[in-house]
Amino acid sequence: MVITALPSIASMAGATRVLRGIAITNPVGDRSLTREQEVELRRAITERALTMLETEFSRRSVWELKPGEATTTP
Amino acid sequence: MKVLHYVNQFFAGMGGEDAASTPPVLIPGAVGPGRGLGLEISATLACGDDYFAEHEDDALGQLLAWLDEARPDVLVCGPAFGSGRYGYACGTLAREAFRLGIVSVCGMDPQNPGVLAAQGKAYIVPTSANVAGMRDALPKMAALTVALAAGEDPSAAGPFLPRHVRRNAFAAETGADRAVELLLAKIAGDTRSEIPIPDPGRIPPGPVLDIAAATIALVTESGCVPRGNPDQLPSRHARSWHRYAIDGVASLSPEHYESVHGGFELGAASEDPNRLVPLDALRQLEASRRVGTVHGWLYTTTGNGTPVAAAALFGQAIAAELNEEGVDGVILTGT
């Protein structure tokens, strides 16, 4: 699976499991947060990445970070 | 017009998988599908698919020596349809023949790995995935061969897969006019591009079944390397990827890791390289048994100005290694 802030490019290039990252310069971090908050964010992103790996997909899919947010299929 | 034809052991009539280890042979005249091309084939080169895959340097050395001696106007390869090993041999041979100044016409399914192996150095006629498309493929390959041998524009002779060659041409309107036109069209719901991006049409691979027992690898194109960049990974147009041992490494500290990527601002990454590759978080999840094991190597390259075809070759090579090492899943971070 791929974590990137540019999910449409990853999908066009053929990636099948894509998770939207935070930013181009820091896909799995956010320097505006406190250290503790950022570590927690990164743990949550990585946890979501693992969930994508263990999920069966029939089509190429892009997930947002929060489970409740829209899931799109390009 | 002098034409040589490359086929595998099966189409040369030497046998099936039992003959796949046959080293290269040179056969006078046309054999098998070569007879259906309707061209005068001066000689046929044949090689077992397994032999080519397992002894690529030896096979290429012999085949290229024969090609160099014969100096044909065109080398025809295949058609290989959906056969991966055969297609790979065709694409690789065509690419190397190009370096000798010999132009090639191949036939294969657009998803065949041989398309990537050819690296745009061959004219590849798209075919069906199986041999049922033989009768359709041969006349198209022949027409392209005749045009190339005559020095004519090949694009008038029929379809071939994109060769990723860009040529300068004059457009009627300036780039600014065309960009505004594309933007207005997009706002109106018509999304177009002057540079078409091929749809690889892949379907997702199956899930990792038991992730609490799985080995997960970290791969990145963010240019993340040990501080000091020991292998001189370039900041753009990388032609290689590297791997670094992360056994026992809890976190990608800025004292020991950095990014050399030249395609984005490195401030956030320099403060904490875990913002590019979530090693610290994955270690936490390993400790809490959410995931089995973090693979002992971090795979890295710089994805900056890299053609998709070249990046795909990196990916294939990395995936082959990871497969061999028993890795079950990959988290790849992109910038």
Cα gap B57→B250, rounded to integer Å? 41
What are the CA-CA distances from residue A50 to residues A8, A22, B81, B292 (Å)? 20, 17, 36, 11
Helix (H, G, I), strand (E, B) or coil at B240: coil
User: Smallest CA–CA separation between B332 and chain A, in Å?
Assistant: 5
Residues with Cβ within 8 Å of B173's Cβ and at least 6 positions away in sequence, in order, are B181
Four-residue CA torsion sign, B175, B179, B181, B182: positive
Q: Say whether the peptide bond before residue B196 is cis (omega within 30 degrees of 0).
A: no
The first and second tokens of residue B144, run together, are 């392209």
Is A39–B280 a contact, with Cβ atoms under 8 angstroms apart? yes
| Contact call for A50 and B269, based on CB within 8 A | no
Chain A residues near residue B281 by CB distance under 8 angstroms: 28, 39, 42-43, 45-47
Instruction: Please provide the DSSP assignment of B68-85 as one string.
Output: HHH--SEEEE---TT-HH
Residue in A4, A24, A50 closest to B290 by CB: A50
Spell out the domains of chain B, with CATH numbers in brackets. 3-157 (3.40.50), 211-333 (no CATH)
Q: How far apart are CA B310 and CA B144, in angstroms?
A: 26
Closest residue on chain B to A52 (Cα): B207
Maximum CA extent, chain B = 69
Which ipTM value was assigned to this complex?
0.94
pLDDT (tens place) for every residue of chain B, 335 residues total: 999 999 999 999 999 888 889 999 999 999 999 999 999 999 999 999 889 988 889 999 999 999 999 999 999 999 999 887 899 899 999 999 999 999 999 999 887 778 888 989 999 999 998 899 999 999 999 999 999 999 999 989 999 998 888 788 899 999 999 999 999 999 998 888 887 765 556 778 999 999 999 999 999 999 999 999 999 999 988 989 999 999 999 999 999 999 999 988 899 999 999 999 999 999 999 999 999 999 999 999 999 877 677 788 899 999 999 999 999 999 999 98
DSSP 3-state of B191:
coil
Q: In chain A, what residues touch B335 (CB-CB under 8 Å)?
A: 4-5, 24-25, 27
Please identify among residues 10-29 of chain A the ones whose CB lies closer than 8 Å to any CB of chain B: 10, 12-17, 21, 23-29
